[in-house]
Amino acid sequence: MPAVELHVHLEGTLEPELIMALAERNRVELPYADLDDLRSRYSFTDLQSFLDLYYANMAVLRTAEDFHDLTTAYLARAREAGVRHAEVFLDVQAHTGRGIRAAEVIDGVTSALATGGDHGITTGLIVTFLRHLPGAEALATLQELLTLDAPLLGVGLCSTELTSHASEFAPAFDLARAHGLHAVAHAGEEGPPQNVWDVLDILRVERVDHGVRAMEDPVLVRRLADERVPLTVCPLSNVRLRVVDTIADHPLRTMLEAGLVVTVNSDDPAYFGGYVDENLRQVADALALGPEELLTLARNGVESAFVDDARRAELD
Ligand code: ES4
Ligand code: ZN
């Protein structure tokens, strides 16, 4: 089982039951009759069709307590999956953009992450800038988080890849680096291999989130392998968002054979049919991964984590 999870959006762990409970607690009117009606919407045709529901459901997250409860529920489930170290993404702009204060979001999430130790889990928080919003807003968000002394491990970039250029986000990533933060970015999920080149060269990311479409560019594959740039792959996400047709068509085995540092992760487990344990189980079954390949995946996760040598040795 995987010891490490490096690609999970906290908001993507918001389960339908918690959506309904928080809606009631906060008296938020949802456009769903009931839980079954909500569940019936979890069928996606592409990334955008998912993002529409994902952002809409966040309306129930209002207070620090809500963010605390969301994060605590994730930690409990991650522990069940055998996770011992998790680096979680938080879409701060998706909340500040609807009038929730950044401090409220950060307080709730970080107070819960601090209890990770009770679950035997070390954690890190990565604020993911939203690529459908202007680069200047990403920069302003990071500046506010720095003012708040938010305990960040790094910055990332997510949401749709198709409507902006990575260079817009260079000022935010440069500021993050100047403050010693790590850098990752979603690329090569629905967008072309050039997007992977761009986040490597322009944003100077240390890991690529998804990156499955890098396989279309042999020169890029060689670079990623040579530089041992980790790719945080999310098999069930790729199936549910139609990046691949079925789990049996997933390129994960080919990626391993190409020498890529691939890790298996859950992305938005409440939406895509499983947490990291289920992702690993399904992809291992479908691609007939053997013990050696499973060990490589686990070791890749440990190698790719932003932890110190002592913690890395414990996880290995
Ligand atoms: C995401 Cl699957 C995926 N891709 C890009 N951005 C995202 N944010 C949350 N899930
Ligand atoms: Zn993601």
pLDDT one-digit tens code per residue, 102-112: 999 999 999 99
Task: Please give the residue range of the domain that contains residue 41.
Answer: 4-303
Atom number of ligand 1 nearest to Cα 268: 10
In a domain, 313, yes or no: no
Q: Which two tokens stand for residue 102?
A: 């950044």
In a domain, 296, yes or no: yes
What is the number of domains present in the chain?
Answer: 1
In a domain, 314, yes or no: no
- What pLDDT is stored for residue 117 in this prediction? 83
In a domain, 255, yes or no: yes
In a domain, 230, yes or no: yes
Whether ligand 1 lies within 6 angstroms of the CB of 267 is answered as yes
- What pLDDT is stored for residue 27 in this prediction? 98
In a domain, 316, yes or no: no
Query: What's the rounded Cα separation, in Å, for the pair 199 and 254?
Result: 23
Angle at 252 between CA 50 and CA 83, to 5 degrees: 75
Residue 218 CB-density burial (10 A; 0-12 exposed, 13-18 middle, 19+ buried)? exposed
CA dihedral 278, 281, 284, 286 (to 10 degrees): -80
Count of CB atoms situated within 10 Å of the CB of 196: 32
ipTM of predicted assembly, 2 dp: 0.97
The H-assigned helical ranges of the chain are: 16-26, 35-39, 47-57, 64-80, 92-96, 102-113, 135-147, 170-178, 193-201, 218-226, 235-240, 252-257, 269-272, 276-286, 291-304, 309-315
Atom number of ligand 1 nearest to Cα 241: 2
Q: What is the CATH number of the domain that holds 40?
A: 3.20.20.140
pTM, 2 dp? 0.98
Count of CB atoms situated within 10 Å of the CB of 167: 12
Which parts of the chain register pLDDT below 70? 1-2
- Between the CA of 159 and the centroid of ligand 1 the distance, in Å, is 5
Q: Which two tokens stand for residue 191?
A: 């967008």
In a domain, 275, yes or no: yes
Pocket probe mutation, ligand 1, options 91, 186, 266, max atoms within 8 Å of Cβ: 186
**Residue whose CA is at the smallest distance from ligand 1 atom 7:** 159
Q: Is 124 helix (H, G, I), strand (E, B) or coil?
A: strand
Asked if residue 43 lies in contact with residue 298, where contact means CB atoms within 8 angstroms, the answer is no
Query: What's the rounded Cα separation, in Å, for the pair 22 and 128?
Result: 23
Whether ligand 1 lies within 6 angstroms of the CB of 189 is answered as yes
